[in-house]
Amino acid sequence: MKALILAGGYGKRLRPITENKPKVLVEIAEKPILEWQIEWLKTFGFKDIVICIGYLGEKIKNLISNGEKFGVNIEYSIERSALGTGGAIKNAEPLLASEDRFIVVNGDIITNLNPKLLSKACKNVIGVIALVPLRSPYGIVDVDSSNLIKKFVEKPVIPGFWINAGVYCLSNEIFDYLPEKGNIEFETFPRLAEERKLRAVKFSDVFWKAIDTYKDLEEADRILRSEKLRFSF
């Protein structure tokens, strides 16, 4: 089974870092985000990887090349203009047409969740989305009935709420639902949900971090450096 990494974004919220470097090559704990992703996928047995490139894509090709130095096989799907997540997957169809199903990963996340569990759940549906618990972006203040502060809780998980982790397993039927240009999250997934062709797999006790802002970058760097010897896939 192949894996597809969506790496064509501009990373505008990380400028000026991304003015001369694609977001997936931004380093966290001395390693580009894309390398973290390749190592993660390889650990779970995914050695055939397609990378969707657009903005500053040549820099990605120059660093990653054919993937040989990472022990994987890399192919590239090139966006001549910004296509959105759905359009990028659609554009990569020639490289995925022979696959019954494939894994898709947003290019701005670092995680150790098991993508094989998505593949196992991809039966009688067109897509499976990995979900992770919603974590508060702020610390919580716990008070008693007299409004005396009992404790402070740093960014706790909010029970009962889940978010899209940006990791999917899609069957090849997905190409009939994808836009030529547009986002899969807004144009494809809602339709599949209405047709009851979309499933979720919940991951509670995993590492997951999306890199959207400087704050995310600093937090991920701190976590991965502090847990470097223990962080494993």
Model confidence over 31-82: pLDDT tens digits?
999 999 999 999 999 999 999 999 898 999 999 999 999 999 999 999 999 9
> pLDDT-based confidence at 224, cuts 50/70/90?
confident
Which residue's structure tokens are 């995993």?
Answer: 206
Spell out the domain ranges in the chain: 3-132+162-226
Taking each helix axis from N to C terminus, what angle separates 33-43 and 57-64, rounded to the nearest 10 degrees? 50
Q: What is the mean pLDDT of the chain?
A: 92
Q: Of 31, 120, 155, 202, which one is the catalytic site residue? A: 155
- 200 DSSP β-pair partners: 129
Closest by CA to 157, choosing from 201, 204, 213, 220, is 204
Percent of the chain with pLDDT over 70: 97
Model confidence over 103-141: pLDDT tens digits?
999 999 999 999 999 999 999 999 999 999 998 888 989
Provide the CATH number for the domain formed by 3-132+162-226 in this structure: 3.90.550.10
Concerning whether 155 is annotated as a catalytic residue, the answer is yes
DSSP three-state, residue 131: strand
Phi/psi of residue 200, nearest 5 degrees? -120, 150
Residue 230: its pLDDT value, please? 54
